[in-house]
Amino acid sequence: MKKFLEDLKNELIKQNMLESDINEIIVDHEEMIQNATLEGLTENEMKKRFGDPVELASELASFSNRQSEPFEIPEGYQLWKSFPLFESEIKIKIALVSEDIRISASKDEQIHVYYSGKGDITKYNCTYNTGDFLLEAPKSSGFIFMKLRQDDIDFIVEIPSNITVSNFNFNAVSSDFYYANFNSKTFILSTTSGDVEIKNVKLNQAKWNSVSGDLLVTDARIENLISSQVSGDMHMKNVYVVKEMKLNTVSGDIFIEDSVCDECSLHSVSGDITGNEFYPARVGLKSVSGDITIKNMNHTGIEIVGKSTVSGEINIQV
């Protein structure tokens, strides 16, 4: 029944369930299989008892309660602006320099913007107009104003969790960013020297570019993904890419864990790419000097549609 557990885990990932929920389900089924073995059930009898992994995962996901993580505004933050919402979909555009920002679920049907820091908040532009939310750092003579560190301001933006973000555009330098528990149709991210965490999201079209910052993506369901990175590392865990995923790295490492996708291309110049329990249906691999490794316990065939390297090693263990 080892293959049953692996198939069930992959199907639960496709259902975009939380990693903690998946681990609990797998542990429970491991115990049930052990008990069935002690009862003397044969392999075929156990398959009849536990059923089809696809149907079981769908049923379990229907009972999964994916509530937003509770989050309390930390001490030192104060409310700056609030905007009532009358739309079911909104657009978000954020442009920052050295301000950290967290986007979380609000407790009502309004957008709330909190800030912390000694900078001049009046220099920032924050507006909401018929479905368009904008937050941007001060500008001077057409260029983003570079300020001293002691003048930094950090933000928390609360948005109702039932809102769909039709277009999310984030552009930042030296800013850490946290985004969780939202659905976005188009998700575009461009960061330099800032770390990013994306958690428990459903994205239709996702594209991100990062330079010198680390990127962590967990519990995500994405239709199509294009990722490009320089220097920073990326870790993807419990991610289901429905259609196509293109990952390109110049010098940063990529680690993919407990994830599934259909079409996949992995390109590296000098960074290493490692897939552990990563199950693409088809994959193209290209490397200059970085190593690419995919290692899976469940020996599911992966179609290699292309493979080339100059001095790096490519190792597929499935």
- Same domain for 234 and 277, yes or no, is yes
Q: Is residue 193 part of a domain?
A: no
Q: What is the pLDDT of residues 236-284, one digit of tens each?
A: 999 999 999 999 999 999 999 999 999 999 999 999 999 999 999 899 9
Query: Per residue in 152-169, is it b (16+ CB within 10 Å) or e — as a string?
Result: bbbbbbbbbbebebbbbb
- Same domain for 74 and 54, yes or no, is no
pLDDT on residue 64: 56
Q: Is residue 170 part of a domain?
A: yes
Q: Is residue 145 part of a domain?
A: yes
DSSP sequence for 37-85: HHTT--HHHHHHHH--HHHHHHHHHHT---PPPP--PPTT-EEEEEEE-
- Same domain for 25 and 9, yes or no, is yes
Which domain-ending residue is among 18, 36, 62?
62
- Same domain for 219 and 275, yes or no, is yes
| pTM to 2 decimal places | 0.84
Which token pair is 191?
């960061």
- Same domain for 220 and 243, yes or no, is yes
- Same domain for 28 and 114, yes or no, is no
Q: What is the pLDDT of residues 149-206, one digit of tens each?
A: 556 799 999 999 888 999 999 999 999 999 998 889 999 999 999 999 999 899 999 9
Position 279: which residue type?
Y
Residues 263, 279 contacting (CB under 8 angstroms):
no
Which domain-ending residue is among 180, 201, 223?
180
- Same domain for 165 and 145, yes or no, is yes
Of 17-21, 84-88, 158-162, 225-229, the least confident: 17-21
- Same domain for 83 and 110, yes or no, is yes
Q: 175: domain range?
A: 69-180
Q: How far apart are CA 77 and CA 94, in angstroms?
A: 19
- Supply the mean pLDDT for the chain: 89
Q: How far apart are CA 223 and CA 206, in angstroms?
A: 8
Q: What is the pLDDT of residues 17-73, one digit of tens each?
A: 878 789 889 998 888 888 888 888 888 888 777 888 888 888 777 655 455 556 889
- Same domain for 37 and 116, yes or no, is no
| pLDDT band with cut points at 50, 70 and 90 for residue 144 | very low
Domain count, the chain: 3
- Same domain for 231 and 261, yes or no, is yes
- Coil/strand/helix, residue 117: strand
Q: Is the pLDDT of residue 104 over 80?
A: yes
Which domain-ending residue is among 157, 180, 203?
180
- Same domain for 107 and 58, yes or no, is no
Of 79-88, 216-225, 250-259, 289-298, the least confident: 289-298
- Same domain for 79 and 54, yes or no, is no
